Structure 1
Amino acid sequence: MKIFDGNYLFSTPLYAPSAYFDILTGAFVVMFLASAFLYWRRSKLAGENAVLRRFIRRASKSAMTWAIIGLIFALFRYGGIDYLAPPIWMYLVLLGIVISIGWYVYDYSEHYPVAVWQLEQSHLERRFRPVSKPRPEPQRVRPKQRGKRKN
């Protein structure tokens, strides 16, 4: 296959990128915009669930990072810059995205339920704890003086 040939992977293409590459670049733009939207609206989307807010923040930051890296390499490919335009870089970015998705699916399925359970338990424990009384403000110690005060 031509796409796995070493001469193709490690050389700067002489021809303009195909329509598939344009679609891939558009997908990177959509990925960046969607993850930026999720990052800025995570408090509205997750509500009171602090664990989900943290998960959305971490996943959207990762997606924005991969989208920016992909857009930079797409820009290099459109510009035809040597050493930065070979297709191997885009394949490595796509491989990194697949690995990141796998990690976040694993994290969501294994760590997220445990963290939610711990959060619920801490809320239950806090509910039955007695309310602490506010401490009074400490008063400044004044020296004891007898008689008339001299100015």
Structure 2
Amino acid sequence: MLTIGKLGAAAGVKVPTIRYYEQIGLLPPAERSAGNQRLYGRTALDRLAFIRHARDLGFPLEAIRDLLSLSDRPDQPCAAADIIAKEQLAAVEARIARLEALKSELERMVSQCAQGTIANCRVIEALSDHSSCAPGSHKPGALSQDDKRATPGAGR
């Protein structure tokens, strides 16, 4: 049996995250020692590794919950799992498209830099006036929740 700290170390997941996954039902409640310490077995480690891998691939928690439910029924057809994976692939492709548009706009801003003073800086000008951006490159305030989590200081 593993304590929560050892489980976290083995799976590469922080202790508060393990507690959260247990709280929302992604992990079953842990057994308790005589001293009321959480104890986890191999099944919990495997399940936590599954969750971590799914999170690394960007799956939202609700999709992970569905995938875990499916994995608990190995005799069922995998069509539902395929649908969930295809939805995640579409979400990743959409995010890549948004990021490519942002990259293009940033490249355009940088390429127009005159290497002069801030008063004539294209970067400052573009950031000050959204209408000077390339049409369709991005929308004001269009960061998704995933983008906000991946962007330092965003979504605070």
Fold agreement, TM-score > 0.5: no
More strand by share: 2
Greater C-alpha radius of gyration: 1
TM-score between both structures, scaled by the size of structure 2: 0.30
TM-score (norm 1): 0.31
More helix by share: 1
Higher relative contact order (CA 8 A, sep 6+): 1
